[in-house]
Structure 1
């Protein structure tokens, strides 16, 4: 896992780099612990039809659920009926042909439409299910502006704007229109590391790689760092910005030949903003422990064993402790369950009951 994370971070810098702004947002508020710790019971969902290599993301919309396989050999995406997980179809064929995907990073639902992000080709593709519900049609392709460095995540702000994390170090987010053109940039990296901010901004941006989610109903955009323990909350309706820093602190890294090499901990791997709360998968394992285990021939489980729950204002609510190590989550508050992906299992889709 350590080599995979380092490779993901270094890949950001195979593209042009730029300097960052000098303005730092002084909104950091620390949290120490959660008022409640709850162990959740798991139910493994049988999957006989699909062999996943690295089930990274899962998103539910209505009566359908899609699982994304990050290291797929043939298809990146697999659709199932929800909640019984009856297999429907596979799509997003891996390859370099015009309608194929080079490197899938994430996907998002927008009503009955589904957007896929191809980081390798810098494209967003919109699909829609046919009336039968067992296949998809390609309805739109958006080629991203060359000013945008390698896009590793995205959300749809409205019907005309996408929000993409900015890895140039110049800002926090790129706002991109439906034609793929860069509309504007907003935010700054909320670090207290003045030395990195002034002298190693590209490496700083690399270390602050974040996973994001946005809920248009409450206007909350959340970002969680892949390294360290930082949650950012942007309320796009009232323009407030809250930064919550956990006990493990900001992303820790060292600069080597212009690259940011992680030296602290593996932090968050997914986040979801629901109507009522923010859920984030947390790992917390140090890279030192990972390296020592690898040298000893010990294969540690890959993923996080915790789901942190915050209020929409960033107050810690509870910490869920899981019997599995997971990467991706989707929250179904109506059913009271969390659907997750476990990359360590042959049957990787796990359901946890919150009730």
Structure 2
């Protein structure tokens, strides 16, 4: 089975973890139907000097380096390049069963000169540092996550060297985790108005609201974009405000079958980035019904979203970019006025879009 099809199908089976106990609270809601500005963008292909990727999913920069996460990497999950010229440096995060290998990779985050990675299958965060030569990464430490944290699928780092991890137990929206991996406390709630699901299908509801997250310590904004439906949540951790932005496709939709939640609505967002000025998201908007029909009919289904939605830091819709490629992940460089994107459908998967940033 092709990887991109397997990735889509796997979404239907991600909803298997345990239940919710807290009531859902919406503390400020904004509905949007459109964007005041639209712009079509044409990509420039970044020509790399090596062929490495099977499913390039995420892209992060820091310390004049760019690191690409290959979700289905054969030998390594991460590949480092110099930035902004994208000259290949090294690969790390070896896939395997040895104690220092990784079983899976969900994301990576920069913290100064250090890079942290998340392995959900081992429930472990690992810190890497570049060698003095600057062309390879060295494994510095591994942090085992508290057993009360149910299968971490994403994470961000806070300015106080703690972690925020989505909570898939259903008890809350997030776990705050200290530097040694111990659970400190939980916060937030699923902002649903689906009372039936809250009463009778909380486990499936919690997983249907699986989200991608990003945090900017300079402005204190934590952005949360749902993988299903069209919901963007904005937590301002400096003033404790919480805004829920709901698009035309609404909440994540699902049916319960055999105790599991099966998605029935649309593929929503696949990445989010909080810059100093705005929130950028990758949006798909295609229904699972259409995707399944394409697969059944042997249509060459392109994985990814063709839109970048831009919101203000308080949730106002600002701009819609319409792309000439289907992409999964983005990296916004406001200083240089470019957005880099990953296209898993191409042999040369790194794209560059020139934009006038918000």
Which category of TM-score, normalised to the shorter sequence, fits these structures? over 0.9
The answer as to 2:16 corresponding to 1:7 is no
* Structure 1 counterpart of 2:187: 186
The answer as to 2:308 corresponding to 1:290 is no
TM-score calculated relative to the size of structure 2: 0.96
* Structure 2 counterpart of 1:98: 99
* 2: CA distance, partners of 1:9 / 1:115: 28
Shift of 1:28: 2.6
Structure 2 counterpart SS, 1:104 = coil
The answer as to 2:84 corresponding to 1:83 is yes
1:222-277: CA deviation from partner (whole Å, max 9, x where unpaired): 00000000000000000000000000111011011111110000000000000000
* Structure 2 counterpart of 1:50: 51
Once the two structures are overlaid, the 10-residue window that deviates more, 313-322 or 134-143, is: 134-143
The answer as to 2:30 corresponding to 1:29 is yes
Structure 1's unaligned 5+ residue stretches are none
CA contact (8 A) 1:149 1:166 kept: yes
Shift of 1:136: 1.2
Shift of 1:19: 2.8
The answer as to 2:296 corresponding to 1:305 is no
Structure 2 counterpart SS, 1:108 = strand
1:150-209: CA deviation from partner (whole Å, max 9, x where unpaired): 110000013431000001111000011111111000010000101101111110011000
CA contact (8 A) 1:338 1:352 kept: yes
Shift of 1:10: 2.7
The answer as to 2:139 corresponding to 1:141 is no
C-alpha RMSD of matched pairs (Å)? 1.2
The answer as to 2:270 corresponding to 1:269 is yes
In structure 2, relative to structure 1, the CA distance for the partners of 1:12 and 1:256 (3 Å cut) is: closer
Shift of 1:20: 2.5
* 2: CA distance, partners of 1:12 / 1:200: 11
* Structure 2 counterpart of 1:206: 207
CA contact (8 A) 2:27 2:243 kept: no
Once the two structures are overlaid, the 10-residue window that deviates more, 236-245 or 24-33, is: 24-33
CA contact (8 A) 2:15 2:204 kept: no
Structure 2 counterpart SS, 1:196 = helix
Aligned residues: 353
CA contact (8 A) 2:20 2:206 kept: no
In structure 2, relative to structure 1, the CA distance for the partners of 1:189 and 1:286 (3 Å cut) is: same
